[in-house]
Amino acid sequence: MKHILLGIFALLPFIVFAADLSSPDGKYTMTVDGMTYSVTFNGKTIIEKSLLGVNIDNRLFESALAVPRGEYKDWSSDLQLKGEERSSVDTTWTPLYGENAKIRDHYNQLVLHYEKGSNGQGTVSEGYDKRKYYAMDIVVRAYNEGIAFRYHFPETANSLFLHITGERTQFAMPEGTMAWYEEWAQAPYEVKSLELKDNSWFESERPLLMQLPDGTYVALLEAAMKDYTRGKFKLAKDNVLQVTMYDSADIISPYDTPWRVIMAGERAVELINHKDLVLNLNQEQVTKDWSWIRPGKAFRSGKLEKSAIFKSIDFCKEFGFDYVELDAGWYGPEGKVSSDARKVIETRNFTMPEVCDYAKSKGVGVWVYVNQRALYQQLDELLPLYQKWGIKGIKFGFVHIGNQQWSTWLHNAIEECAKYQIMVDIHDEYRPTGLSRTYPHLLTQEGIRGNEEMPDADHNTILPFTRYLCGPGDYTLCYFNSRVKNTKGHQLAMAAVYYSPLQFYFWYDNPYMKGWDSAELKFWKDCPTVFDESVALDGVPGEYIIQARRSGEDWFIGAMTNKEGRTISIPTDFLPKGKYEVECYNDNPALNTQTNVQCSMFNVQSGKKPITLQLQPSGGAALHFKPIR
């Protein structure tokens, strides 16, 4: 389905005016008034009057400009409205893989055209270079799922170069708003007020989840950050958040800045169910053969020794996993310039071709970890070599993120990997902004406080409402490791709750250790990593989450609670009409087994009595629904 309506371009006098744009269902409305805006949701103001605009300082590049220094402090202040353009789009697209087999892209759009340095009649304002004029558009999209806006610098005759020193974009929140603050991508969360007296508020990661005094949940996100600088949020003053750029950005028009995204929900799970919005704000992938992309399950070989690697490959074959991964150290100390990722270090007793050949004979693919230091120095040589060896994917390690240089380098490196049919997993502080739509071979990324840090259940029940709103997270699921703070049922449920097309299981565990015959591990074998439909059924940030996902006709549900035990009710009205056999795996401390997970089976009728389960403190449950013919 495709339906596009273009509005009439109107020349307007240079006056400040207010322009409204509403979502197709009317729930969201954004009002732009000069260089300010506000947003309502269900008739309630969720973003009060807030600043728009950018700061630009071109003095280093345009010495001919005779503009006093002070005028550069607010480049947007004297932009003059030239006209507006409206359109509507309603399409449905099919991702190669994902949380949903079909994604609707339905929005109304408003483009406001501004000029600077021209009065619209062929003359140039005093103080500006007569060879140039400056233009900027504010592009607003209103979806049923949220509001997005960005700044567009249109093409000019001389390919105008701009030095962007910062954004003026702000989000003025209602007084009393609370936020789930996270200082860096792998940090713990804290719930904080938006008040300057709390001087521990520095810059918060995105997505940023908030709850307004009336109970409404609001999330702020960033989308399509490809060749710009990473944005975060700081307090400009009480209850006013400011977009902060990691560093300045140098651009040549035409150019689009990343999208600033606002989502809201009466219930927090509405945000989860609307997160495809981030993908919709990114460009479609280039039409080509992507058949070599294969999401799946992976196991890390903990020991980089030939017999241990082969044993890990055998385990993948036996357990039904798709990939084995060789982590840091296979080509030498990852932090040293002298380490050469074109070969296995001489102190190891294997070669990469023999590992790839053995894995191929077992139907298993090979991934390798490569630190950014080696990728930066050797990428042009590594990619054709890895393709020759038969490497299926690279896990980028310790990527430098934030400024424009490294953001551009990283995404160019991802593009290069596609030329050699190599998939990508980015580790450490990188956070997704929906670019997996453009680069579908970018399967997943870390940027998450996962099982490397062994977080508690409170943290784990925050993640679906925060970090996972922006895209897949490589949490590196553990099971038997003694440092895990949560129950086995809690860990099992992660396969359905935490989305990652490349899902690592049994991180820090060794193949064939005691416990592999535990009956409940069937859920990890059965649950896929990509789905046809996903629905968050219920949950509260930091308390609990119930997530349902469909693959074919089977449904998989993961339920997780925080450090408090609780009784949960799983509805059955989301199921298509019919009867289902349910395999249920739930914690039972009374069992005298290694894992204390109760495996049970029962039947349910869709739309009838809900399923009631008792979750243990820091616990969880996993359920597999199969239709009965």
pLDDT tens for each residue of 156-198: 755 678 899 999 999 999 999 999 999 999 999 999 999 998 6
pLDDT number for residue 118: 53
Give the pairing type, strands 393-397 and 44-51.
Answer: unpaired
Say if residues 27 and 250 touch (Cβ distance below 8 Å). Answer: no
Instruction: Categorize the per-residue pLDDT at 7 as very low, low, confident or very high, splitting at 50, 70 and 90.
Output: very low
What is the rounded distance in angstroms from the CA atom of residue 173 to the CA atom of residue 33? 17
pLDDT of 211 reads 98
DSSP 210-227: EE-TTS-EEEEEEE--SS
**Residue linked to tokens 């396969």:** 495
The per-residue pLDDT for range 190-240, each reduced to its tens digit, is 999 999 986 678 999 999 999 999 999 999 999 999 999 999 999 999 999
Query: Would you state the pLDDT for residue 135?
Result: 85
What is the mean pLDDT of the segment spanning 455-472?
A: 98
Cβ–Cβ contacts within 10 Å for residue 67, how many?
Answer: 16
- SS3 of 463, please? helix
Strands 423-426 and 554-561: unpaired
Would you state the pLDDT for residue 11? 35
- Looking at residue 198, its pLDDT comes to 67
What pLDDT shows up at residue 2? 45
Per residue in 539-598, pLDDT tens? 999 999 999 999 999 999 999 999 999 999 999 999 999 999 999 999 999 999 999 999
Q: What is the pLDDT of residues 320-370, one digit of tens each?
A: 999 999 999 999 999 899 999 999 999 999 999 999 999 999 999 999 999
Residue 59: band (very low, low, confident or very high) from pLDDT cuts 50, 70, 90: low
Span 54-78, average pLDDT: 61
What is the structure's pLDDT at 117? 63
Mean pLDDT of the chain: 92
